[in-house]
A and B are shown apart, each in its own frame.
Chain A
Amino acid sequence: MTLQFFALYGVMSALAIALLLVMIRLIKGPTLPDRVVALDILSVLGIGFVATYCIGSGRSAYLDVAIVLGLLVFLGTVAFARYLERRV
C-alpha cells in the first residue's frame, strides 16, 4: 500500500464521512450560529481535501487553492459574526 493509495482512499473516505456529518448539522442546526459554525468547519474540511489530493496526485500546484480558501474562510465567518451581532 503506497502513500498515494492511502491518501486517496483511506483519508479521503474519512474526510467524506466528516463532510456528511457536518452537512447533517448544517441542515438540522437549530439556530443560525450553528449553521455558521458548520459552514466554517465545511471550508476547513475543504482545505483538508485539497491537501490530501496534493499528496495523492503528487502535484503541489493545488496548494494555492488551499491558501485562498483559508483566507476566505476567515473573512466569511467574521462577516457572519458581525452581521449576527448587529442584528440583535
Chain B
Amino acid sequence: MKLEEIISAILLGAGALLMLVAAIGLLRFPDLFLRMSATTKAATLGMMLFMLALIVAFQDSGVTTRAIAIAIFTFLTLPVPAHLLGRAAYFMGVPLWKGTQVDELRGKYDPYTHHLESEPVKSELPESKAD
C-alpha cells in the first residue's frame, strides 16, 4: 500500500467508527435531546473524515472541490435542523429523561406565541401531545 492509501484508510476507518458511535448513541441514550447531542456531533465529524479520505485517495481537483462542497454543506446544514427539531420537540412536550437535573426553559416559553421570556410566563406549557 502506498502512503496516501494508508492515510485514506485510516481516515475512512475513523469516519466509519464515528458513524457507528452515532448510531449506538441514537439507540442507547435515554431521551430525545441526549440522542440528538450524540448524533449531530459524531455524524458531522464522521462526514468530515469521509470527505478528507476522498480528497486524499483521489488527489484530483474535481473530486477535491466536490468533497469540500459536501463538507461545507454538512457543516452548515446538520446543526440547523437539529436546533429546529429540538425546539419543536420541546414545544411538543417530549418527555425528558428522569435523571434530568435542571430544565431552565420550563415555563419561560409562551405556549401560544412561542416567544421566549426572561421571566416565567403565567400559563404553563400544554400537556404532552407526543405520540
Task: Judge whether A55 and B19 touch: CB under 8 Å.
Answer: no
In the complex, A47→B51 CA distance in Å? 10
Q: Mark B64-88, 1 if CB is under 8 A from A, else 0.
A: 0011011001100110111011011
**Residue in A30, A66, A80 whose CB lies within 8 Å of B70:** A66
Secondary structure type dominating chain B contacts: helix
Task: Judge whether B39 and A41 touch: CB under 8 Å.
Answer: yes
> A41-88: which residues lie under 8 A (CB-CB) from chain B?
41, 44-45, 47-48, 51-52, 54-55, 60, 63-64, 66-67, 70-71, 73-74, 77-78, 80-82, 84-85, 87-88
- Asked if B129 CB lies within 8 Å of chain A CBs, one says yes
Task: Judge whether A81 and B84 touch: CB under 8 Å.
Answer: yes
In the complex, A18→B13 CA distance in Å? 13
Write the nearest CB–CB distance from A17 to chain B, whole angstroms: 6
> B96-131: which residues lie under 8 A (CB-CB) from chain A?
114, 126, 129-131
Write the nearest CB–CB distance from B35 to chain A, whole angstroms: 6
Write the nearest CB–CB distance from A53 to chain B, whole angstroms: 11
Task: Judge whether A48 and B26 touch: CB under 8 Å.
Answer: no
Task: Judge whether B78 and A88 touch: CB under 8 Å.
Answer: no
Task: Judge whether B92 and A84 touch: CB under 8 Å.
Answer: yes
Q: Name the residue on B nearest A5 (C-beta).
A: B9
In the complex, A23→B2 CA distance in Å? 37
Q: Name the residue on B nearest A38 (C-beta).
A: B26
List 4 extra interface pairs beyond A60-B60, A77-B84, CB under 8 A: A19-B23, A22-B23, A55-B58, A67-B73
Seen from chain A, the residues whose Cβ lies within 8 Å of a Cβ on chain B are 1-3, 6-7, 10-11, 14-15, 17-19, 21-22, 24-25, 30-34, 36-38, 40-41, 44-45, 47-48, 51-52, 54-55, 60, 63-64, 66-67, 70-71, 73-74, 77-78, 80-82, 84-85, 87-88
